[in-house]
Each structure stands twice: as structure tokens, then as C-alpha cells.
Amino acid sequence: MLFLDTFKIGEKLPPNQYSALELAYIGDAIYEIYVRTMIIADTNCPMKKLHKEATNLVKAKAQADYFRAIEGILTEEEMAVFKRGRNTNSRPPKNADLIDYKIATGVEALIGYTYLKGDEDRLNVLLGYLKK
């Protein structure tokens, strides 16, 4: 999976021992790569439109809506990781609702955890719930 072998992720520190914010940090990047790949998969349009579409999918409100779509399929382990991320002390940007921002942090932690576990199949299932 993308870069896991290169950096030998999991050999020194298993994914469940990363802090919630570290999981969210990498999860944010994986989520954004998925979104950007998804929106260019079947279209060729101006960068301004691509950027707007990507931004609409990665903002806190969209991630909170996405969580509501996947909540029912999460395992106990995945829900625990989500809650670790959601419950971290972080400050939302001025334009984000606090609840949505906390949920988005939980989503990013979940995506980061699943990625660091190397569970590509599960990551594809979870991210498959994203809609343009």
C-alpha cells in the first residue's frame, strides 16, 4: 500500500499506538488523495472546478455527513478509533462548526488508522461511501 513498505510502518510502532492526532494527520492526506483521484477519474475540467469540488468534499461538514453514512458499518475497533480522534483537543478553523470539526477529526483518525494497518480492502469499502 502507498508508502507503508517504504517507511516500514508497523514494524516499530503498531497503528493503535499512534496518537489520535497523528492518525488524523495521515488520514487527512489519504482522504484528500482519494477525493482528488475520485473527482478526476471520469472528467477533464478546469482546475478551479476541480478545486471547488475537492474542497466541498473535504471540509468538516462533508466529512461529518460522510461519517453518518458509514457509522452503521463500523466495527467496534473502528468506532473506538473514531472516538479517540473525535475526542481530541483541537480547535476548529473560524469557518467550521465545532461538532462537525470534531467528527471530521474522528473520520480522519479512522482513515489514518485503517491505512496504517495496511487494510486496503477495508479502506476501499469505507472510502467507497464517499459521493461526489
- As a whole number of angstroms, the distance between CA 114 and CA 78 comes to 8
**For the segment 26-60, what is each residue's pLDDT rounded down to a tens digit?**
999 999 999 999 999 877 888 999 999 999 999 99
Q: Which of 126, 114, 104 lies closest to 57 in space, CA to CA?
A: 104
Q: pLDDT above 90 covers what percent of the chain?
A: 77
pLDDT at 62 over 80: yes
pLDDT at 5 over 90: no
Q: Spell out the CATH class of 19-127.
A: mainly alpha
User: Which positions ≥6 away from 102 have C-beta within 8 Å?
Assistant: 86, 87, 90, 92
**Tell me, what amino acid is at 50?**
L
| Residues tagged active-site | 28
Cell, residue 30: 489519504
Residue by residue, DSSP assigns 5-16 as: TTTTTTTSS-GG
* pLDDT band at residue 132 using 50, 70 and 90 as cut-offs: low
Decide: 106 and 67 in contact? Cβ < 8 Å. yes
**For the segment 71-110, what is each residue's pLDDT rounded down to a tens digit?**
999 999 999 999 999 999 878 788 889 999 999 999 999 9
